[in-house]
Amino acid sequence: MMRLLTLALVLVIAVAAGVFIEHRYNLFDQLGTGVPVPVEAEESSLEHAVKHLDPDYVCPMHPQVVREIPGSCPICGMDLVLVEHDAGDGELPAVSISPEMVHNLGVRTADAQRRTLWRRIDTVGYVEYNRHKLRHVYSSAEGNVVGLTIRSEGERVEKGQFLFELQSPRMSKRFGDVYAEQGGIVSDLKAIEGTWMLPTDIVMTIGDLSSVWVLADVFESEAGWVKQGQSAEVRLPSVPDRMWEGTVEYIYPNLDPETRTLKVRMSFENKDEMLKPNMLAEVTIYGGPRHDVLAVPREALIETGKQQRLVIDLGDGRFQPRKVTVGDERGNWVEISDGLEENERVVISGQFLIDSESSLQASLSHFEGPDDHDEHRAQE
């Protein structure tokens, strides 16, 4: 299959070069000299056109694989095919392909259709304590911490558990005992046995992990899609078969000037405490649906770096590349906001070779005369 495609391209280029040389000789015959000027004496129209083309090497089976140099596809291993794009922004000519060649090239098509596209943001974040569920335990007077039942951060306490006694000449033992107002995990411990504490000093902090926050960064281009109350999902790389559902709770007002991202805070229920602070999480934020959007499969799109094109199936074996304007891209679908009509058929496999043939014909038309061009079209 790969050899057939390569041979087809070589034949097309050879024919083009032959036509060019033939016209070079005919031109000078018509001038009455009878002596052809050597090709190297001046830059030909074809050479000039080729210099201004933008060659890419692409995989016929995986159009998202585009390279500037020859090689093989990292997905399927097939040799990359050279595709030369037209230099201008004008409409490219239609090309005719026999049914046998359509079959050999594996050309497949699909209808442009109206559908609902969800604005989806995929990013990464990290788990943090829900600060609304953090409780500080204070020293209520000046004195020493004694009888401390917590030895390190991360220990679990139950609501009503005795924590420590504060010994102070100004307090009786009855008023010096301190108990936990809520259960949870000790997230911060400021004292050890015997520590002298001043009034209002924080002895420890207890966090409730029944719900947690996940903080994530959203790129500036997608920041306008995020609203409070939107649905969000998180997954942990360590637990790939588990998913947690939550909501966007807060959008921070300041954009990071270095990363050009906006921080978003989401809240998630965490009854089994599987989401632990500082864990890395894969985050998905659903920015809401956009209904009645004209879209095509993502694999149909040809991106040249200068413009984006689709190859339209005109019927009866005729195909034509067309410049389009692309909108949102979601999953396997991409919005086409201009340049395409509903129910037009687009090529989703083999379109790069068709686009290359059309570009070559456009280049030839730059130096062929009208009669010559019509003659070649008639011969096709």
pLDDT tens per residue across all 380 residues of the chain? 444 444 444 444 444 444 444 443 333 333 333 334 343 334 444 444 444 445 567 777 776 677 878 888 888 888 887 765 444 455 788 888 889 988 888 999 999 999 988 888 999 999 999 999 999 999 888 899 999 999 999 999 999 999 999 888 777 666 678 999 999 999 999 999 999 999 889 999 999 999 999 999 999 988 888 999 999 999 999 898 999 999 999 999 999 999 999 999 999 999 999 999 999 999 999 987 888 999 999 999 998 877 899 999 999 999 999 999 998 887 789 999 999 999 899 999 988 888 887 877 776 655 454 454 444 444 44
In a domain, 113, yes or no: no
Range of the domain at 252: 119-129+210-290
Q: Do 32 and 81 reside in the same domain of the chain?
A: yes
Residue 305: inside a domain: no
| Residue 314 included in any domain | no
**Shared domain check, 161 and 57:** no
Neighbours of 27 (CB within 10 A): 13
Q: Is residue 307 part of a domain?
A: no
Residue that is last in its domain, among 160, 186, 207: 207
Please tell me whether residues 123 and 255 are part of one structural domain: yes
Backbone angles phi, psi at 258, to 5 degrees: -90, -45
Q: How far apart are the first and last CA of the chain?
A: 23
Q: How many domains does the chain have?
A: 3
Answer with the one of 207, 238, 256 that is the final residue of a domain: 207
Residue type, 243: M
Q: Are residues 61 and 46 in the same domain?
A: yes
Alpha carbon 377 to chain centroid distance?
A: 42
Map tokens 């037009």 to a residue: 344
Is 84 within a domain?
yes
What is the CATH classification number for the domain harbouring 189?
2.40.50.100
Question: What CA–CA distance (Å, rounded) separates 261 from 216?
Answer: 9
124, 270: one domain: yes
User: C-alpha angle with apex 174: 170 to 180, nearest 5 degrees?
Assistant: 110
Q: Kindly state whether residue 215 falls inside one of the protein's structural domains.
A: yes
Which residue from 266, 163, 181 is spatially nearest to 217, judged by alpha carbons?
266
